[in-house]
Structure 1
């Protein structure tokens, strides 16, 4: 059984320009993470683990691979009403424009939602890493007689300038909101937090972009076509009119909004005790169940390395890196501080033996550091890629440099003896 009271809506985000080139040919929720997963698997898994199993994913950019992933991954019993469906922006007699913002995306899709029987909308972002029991948030919403609940996370003064900050009273009711305040404006915006958070100086409540709305209220709020965004319009306008409550979350949470945050979040999985815990069976992150062989490693020195299924690794050294599915790394190569997404398929043997082409994966005697290698990259022999602050930002046909990180584009071919 699962909760029939909740309909979950995952917002796929816009064009994802800050994650370019990873979003050049896929939507943001479809970006591969942790070697085996997609970003969208995180909010979907949080919903499933919380027993919320009626889920819509809203998107409008490059949604083909996302559709394919969800279709191949999330199957429920034929006798169950559980589902995970993708809703791409569509033209209808009522609306002939693309989604103009988060609230507008929900408004334009409302006719699909109202075919179902439920009491609460659960709105989530499709580009965050966290593991959260959303049932506890719903329980808190009901117990406090809230009309809107906002998941919040305590942050310090330095972090607060990058978020929407909410002020809550002793009952956790939100009384005011400020968007990305300067440090000078933060005075008086502290809220009641746990002693542990207070000791760490995390006394400001940042919105996590996770909301619960009473069904009737959200329908009413979205009746005004001029309001297009939750964070900038719907929520600030509702604080004085409705019962809006904070639900504090103190676990790991990070927003995957930029190449730098994406890179750090993935490499953090190689820590001895990663903050995003893929090994907790009560907080399983689900994904496509591929029938891949085990990985094979020969003669490689490995330190803090995460290696996915189906890899063939003969590298000299892999250090603080995440190696994705079906990755192939040849003799003598060194990989440091790198996220290698892997491959969608194995090359045919005749192609591997053809010396006139650059094979998929990393060739012999390469040195790769501070890089993201997108899916199906072909790196020749004796290639040196070393990201860092010394590199200027650039975008070429085969690679991009952002925040000092070299991103080799999906399917790019880097010839032997090339240096970046």
Structure 2
């Protein structure tokens, strides 16, 4: 593999395709993102109006020239598998490239499902070996970032002694408790790794001169030989908790500091804020960069129709109909219908999989959001039917609450998928 300058365009694409295999971890149960993950995995959750979270790592890999991709799936995988199949079929990208799903399976040698991040990769080693990669790039399926992974690879290759590279990102003291924190030497090699510290004193020696801490992003490059070696012990099931702490004692493990935006979508609050951030004038995570587009399923939908509506700082996806309503600092998904007199503020409306009827038939509430509603600080999942005069406001400032129509998590109102909210409902 040969690299010249820092630019993606200067990389030898032919050799890179042959020697690098990307493995994307399809996520665990995602319990902290319930109810959005009640019937789908985290990477399958809608994001930014028209995307799924899985589109982010796949697009990063494709944009960087790494076009041989395995996606490992297990929990609530139907929606994710279907999206990947519809979006990244061999007909839509170069025939020599692929995005393939490897679902958890029972075999003669193992009757157990994936039991952790490292165990998932261990169980698919036979398929990795078939591709004969020199390097394996491991990505998480539920994070937001726009990274030139070719530069990451170039850093990995800059020192021939490097066996493992770990992408890291500077985080504040408040963020360290749910992440793995690394301490590096002056030449960038990791000499200490603390997974999800319980006390600030555990990571005092890891503090950077600017006051931040370097957090493991869950993005790795392994020399394939090294990957096979570190996965030999079947009792070690997780990269962060077990594989990396041992590897830094026995292998040459280097840190690659990524200074751009990175968000681990772990909670309802994090998901909500990441979506609304997209409405900023210049968002930290920018969907409007021509050289690094984010791919998703192509849809043959009509243009958005805006009929005397007020729209301010909002993302409005294709096929949407806004009828004499107001939308402020919100993300509106595909096919969404919003009726007259309704006001939406600071909310994520995920859209509809099909239009259905916009007219009431025998009193039935149609898909979409009815007239004279007010929705604030909410997430409305896909295919919901919101009746007339519904008020989703969290008037009592609940942090946690639920009834048959809504669930409040982290102070955010969530309307679960396929929910019908009756006329006049208020919270």
What is the TM-score when the length of structure 1 is the normalising length?
A: 0.94
Is the contact between residue 389 and residue 403 of structure 1 (CA under 8 Å) also seen in structure 2? no
SS at match of 1:114: helix
Judge conservation of contact 1:166–1:177 (CA < 8 Å) in 2.
yes
Q: Distance in 1 between matches of 2:391 and 2:121?
A: 46
Deviation at 1:315, TM superposition (A): 4.2
Structure 2 CA distance, aligned partners of 1:267 and 1:43?
Answer: 20
Distance 2:76 2:180 in 1: 28
Partner of 1:283: 292
How far did 1:353 drift? 4.8
- Report deviation, 1:156: 2.7
Partner in structure 1 of residue 4 of structure 2 = none
Give the equivalent residue in structure 2 for 1:318: 327
Q: Secondary structure at the match of 2:418?
A: coil
Is the CA contact (8 Å cut-off) linking 1:325 and 1:341 kept in structure 2? yes
* Residue of structure 2 equivalent to 1:87: 102
Q: Is the 8 A contact 2:399 2:412 kept in 1?
A: no
Is 2:219 aligned against 1:177? no
* Residue 74 (structure 1) aligns with: 88
CA distance in structure 1 between the aligned counterparts of 2:98 and 2:266, rounded to whole angstroms: 27
Q: Give how far 1:5 is off.
A: 1.2
Are the counterparts in 2 of residues 266 and 339 from structure 1 also a CA contact under 8 Å?
Answer: yes
Partner of 2:32: 18
Q: 1:142 aligned to 153, 157, 163, which one?
A: 157
Cα separation, partners in 2 of 1:178 and 1:85, compared to 1, 3 Å: same
Provide the rounded CA distance (Å) in 1 between the counterparts of 2:102 and 2:312.
42
Say whether residues 1:363 and 2:377 are aligned partners.
no
How far does residue 395 in structure 1 lie from its aligned partner after superposition?
Answer: 3.5
3-state secondary structure, aligned to 1:70: helix
What is the SS of the residue equivalent to 2:287?
coil
d(CA) in 2 for partners of 1:79, 1:409:
38
Q: Tell me if structure 2 keeps the 8 A contact 1:40–1:127.
A: yes
Q: Is the CA contact 1:365–1:381 (under 8 Å) kept in the aligned structure 2?
A: yes
- Of the three residues 386, 392, 399, the one matched with 2:393 is 386
Q: Distance in 1 between matches of 2:200 and 2:125?
A: 39
In structure 1, what is the Cα distance between the partners aligned to 2:394 and 2:66?
42
What corresponds to 1:249 in structure 2?
258
CA change 1:79–1:40 in 2 (3 A) is closer
> 2:219 corresponds to which residue?
210
1:79-114 CA-partner distances (Å, limit 9, x unpaired): 732111111111101110111110001111111221
Aligned to 1:166: 182
Runs of 4+ in structure 1 deviating by more than 6 angstroms, as ranges, are: none
Q: 1 CA distance for matches of 2:37 and 2:244? A: 28
Q: Tell me the distance in 1 between the aligned counterparts of 2:406 and 2:70.
A: 34
Task: Say if 1:83 and 1:323 are closer, same or farther in 2 by CA, change over 3 A.
Answer: same
1:223 Cα deviation after fit = 1.4
Q: Is the 8 A contact 1:371 1:387 kept in 2?
A: no
Q: Which residue of 1 aligns with 2:207?
A: 190
Structure 1 range deviating more: 14-23 or 41-50? 14-23
* Secondary structure, aligned partner of 2:424: coil
Unaligned stretches of 5+ residues in structure 1: 193-197
Distance 2:193 2:399 in 1: 38
TM-score with structure 2 setting the length:
0.93
Between the aligned partners of 1:258 and 1:156, the Cα distance in structure 2 is: 17
Deviation at 1:390, TM superposition (A): 1.3
TM-aligned CA deviation for residue 389 of structure 1? 7.1
Secondary structure at the counterpart of residue 69 of structure 2: strand
Aligned length: 410
Match for residue 400 of structure 1 among 402, 407, 412: 407
Residues 1:304 and 2:313 aligned together: yes
Tell me the equivalent position of 1:153: 169
Show the 5 A alignment for 1:231-242: 231-242=240-251
- 1 CA distance for matches of 2:47 and 2:132? 34
Q: 2:132 aligned with 1:125, yes or no?
A: no
